[in-house]
């Protein structure tokens, strides 16, 4: 039985299909010629895993360096998710990648948020912006980014994104600590991937990053948490504290981090009353939400109760105080 999911907790704006909707327009805004014969040709290049990942993403971030470009994408993102039937989405972006033409962190954040808010008012969708620290940034930059989130007094969240293997959660503890006692909701990509060697401790190291995020970064949510079902005590703690998990099963599968979505033991997490949700991560190059739901249902054969949990967790775990607790 397929759950009818009306919201997303783990969705990166610059990795979403909204980019496809506006990519040629972004080149026009930047006064640059679109370097592909068509949007389809660009998408083929972008989705080709044999192409260098930095070059692929550069085709997007190169034209996301002005306030107008960021507003355009934020608006397109809200419009797309609304048209897809979502009523509530949490929209992640990392302002540090948009500073090359002189925007400050605050200006980049503000521009994206303006676009999101415009889409909210036109399309009736509720959008909670989440500002990510690209974890390769030094801790001082992380602190600056956390300061930007503080200015929004809980209407914007904080996340830690990108390369977990080389930059474990504790690296940005100073940034997270700055938000302790504030209204800022904290998320963290953790338990997604770590260095391949030594292989015998791989899973334990993944799990350790989840524990660090929970106990030291004091997060309200974790993105991924692939090995969480290995640790009943941690599950009990997270369920008791209402620390949610925004899973992205097909992202993990397509990235080769799991061999089968059943490894995530989503049934076990729901049974433990973890606020678990199903999300796309980056549907610009990974499967869209409808496919995530369908293929997880194929693997798990969700019961009616599990469907109600997956649907309700979107609202129960929402960071936006207009929706959640
Ligand atoms: Zn993610």
DSSP 59-106: HHHTT--SHHHHHHHHHHHHHHHHHTT-SEEEEEE-GGGG-TTS--HH
Question: Residue 297, Cβ neighbours under 10 Å: how many?
Answer: 17
Q: What is the 31 CA–ligand 1 centroid distance (Å)?
A: 30
Q: What is the 80 CA–ligand 1 centroid distance (Å)?
A: 18
Q: What is the 93 CA–ligand 1 centroid distance (Å)?
A: 10
Res 118: pLDDT: 98
Rounded to 5 degrees, what angle do the CA atoms 181, 111, 114 make? 80
Question: Taking residues 230-240, what's their average pLDDT?
Answer: 98
Q: What is the 201 CA–ligand 1 centroid distance (Å)?
A: 23
Answer yes or no: pTM beyond 0.85.
yes
Res 125: pLDDT: 98
Q: What is the 97 CA–ligand 1 centroid distance (Å)?
A: 16
Q: What is the 33 CA–ligand 1 centroid distance (Å)?
A: 30
Q: What is the 197 CA–ligand 1 centroid distance (Å)?
A: 23
Q: What is the 177 CA–ligand 1 centroid distance (Å)?
A: 22
The domain defined by 7-17+64-316 folds into TIM Barrel (3.20.20)
Q: What is the 12 CA–ligand 1 centroid distance (Å)?
A: 6
Which residues neighbour 174 within 8 Å (Cβ) at sequence distance 6 or greater?
Answer: 139, 142, 143
Give the whole-angstrom CA distance, residue 149 versus residue 179: 8
Q: What is the 13 CA–ligand 1 centroid distance (Å)?
A: 10
Ranges assigned E (strand) in the chain:
7-12, 88-93, 126-134, 157-161, 187-190, 221-224, 244-247, 276-278
Q: What is the 28 CA–ligand 1 centroid distance (Å)?
A: 28
Q: What is the 16 CA–ligand 1 centroid distance (Å)?
A: 11
Q: How far is the CA of 22 from the CAs of 56, 71, 82, 95, 161, in angstroms?
A: 16, 11, 16, 19, 24
Q: What is the 10 CA–ligand 1 centroid distance (Å)?
A: 6
Q: Which residue in 120, 52, 134, 39 sits closest to 81, CA to CA?
A: 120
Q: What is the 241 CA–ligand 1 centroid distance (Å)?
A: 22
Question: Taking residues 280-302, what's their average pLDDT?
Answer: 98
Q: What is the 62 CA–ligand 1 centroid distance (Å)?
A: 21
Q: What is the 94 CA–ligand 1 centroid distance (Å)?
A: 11
Give the whole-angstrom CA distance, residue 307 versus residue 2: 7
Using pLDDT thresholds of 50, 70 and 90, give the confidence band for residue 324: confident
- DSSP label at 17? T
The predicted-structure confidence for 144-183, as pLDDT tens digits, reads as follows 999 999 999 999 999 999 999 999 999 999 999 999 999 9
Res 52: pLDDT: 87
Is the pLDDT score of 49 beyond 90? no
Rounded to 5 degrees, what angle do the CA atoms 169, 170, 173 make? 105
Using pLDDT thresholds of 50, 70 and 90, give the confidence band for residue 196: very high
The predicted-structure confidence for 65-97, as pLDDT tens digits, reads as follows 999 999 999 999 999 999 999 999 999 999 999
Q: What is the 186 CA–ligand 1 centroid distance (Å)?
A: 14
Using pLDDT thresholds of 50, 70 and 90, give the confidence band for residue 325: confident
Domain ranges in the chain are 7-17+64-316
Q: What is the 161 CA–ligand 1 centroid distance (Å)?
A: 7
Q: What is the 306 CA–ligand 1 centroid distance (Å)?
A: 23
Higher-scoring residue by pLDDT: 325, 322: 322
Q: What is the 134 CA–ligand 1 centroid distance (Å)?
A: 11
The predicted-structure confidence for 99-151, as pLDDT tens digits, reads as follows 999 999 999 999 999 999 999 999 999 999 999 999 999 999 999 999 999 99
């Amino acid at each position: 039985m397929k759950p009818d999911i009306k919201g997303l907790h783990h969705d990166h704006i610059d990795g979403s299909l909204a980019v496809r909707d506006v990519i040629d327009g972004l080149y026009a805004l930047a006064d640059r010629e679109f370097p592909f014969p068509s949007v389809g040709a660009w998408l083929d290049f972008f989705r080709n895993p044999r192409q260098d990942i930095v070059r692929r993403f550069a085709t997007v971030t190169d034209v996301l360096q002005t306030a107008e470009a960021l507003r355009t994408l934020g608006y397109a993102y809200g419009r797309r998710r609304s048209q897809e039937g979502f009523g509530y989405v949490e929209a992640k972006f990392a302002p540090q990648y948009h500073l090359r033409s002189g925007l400050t962190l605050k200006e980049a954040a503000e521009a994206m948020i303006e676009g999101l808010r415009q889409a909210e008012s036109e399309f009736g969708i509720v959008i909670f912006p989440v500002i990510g620290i690209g974890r390769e940034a030094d801790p001082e930059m992380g602190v600056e980014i956390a300061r930007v989130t503080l200015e929004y007094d809980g209407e914007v969240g904080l996340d830690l994104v990108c390369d977990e293997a080389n930059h474990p959660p504790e690296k940005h503890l100073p940034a997270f600590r700055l938000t302790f006692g504030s209204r800022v909701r904290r998320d963290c990509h953790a338990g997604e991937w770590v260095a391949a060697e030594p292989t015998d401790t791989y899973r334990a190291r993944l799990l350790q990053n989840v524990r660090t995020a929970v106990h030291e970064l004091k997060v309200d949510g974790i993105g991924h948490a692939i090995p969480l079902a290995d640790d009943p005590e941690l599950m009990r703690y997270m369920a008791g504290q209402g620390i949610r998990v925004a899973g992205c099963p097909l992202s993990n599968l397509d990235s080769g981090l799991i061999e089968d979505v059943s490894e995530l033991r989503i049934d076990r997490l729901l049974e433990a009353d973890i606020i678990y949700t199903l999300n796309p991560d980056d549907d610009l190059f990974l499967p869209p939400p409808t496919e995530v739901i369908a293929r997880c249902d194929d693997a798990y054969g969700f019961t009616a109760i599990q469907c109600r949990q997956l649907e309700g967790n979107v609202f129960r775990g929402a960071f936006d105080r207009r929706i959640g607790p």
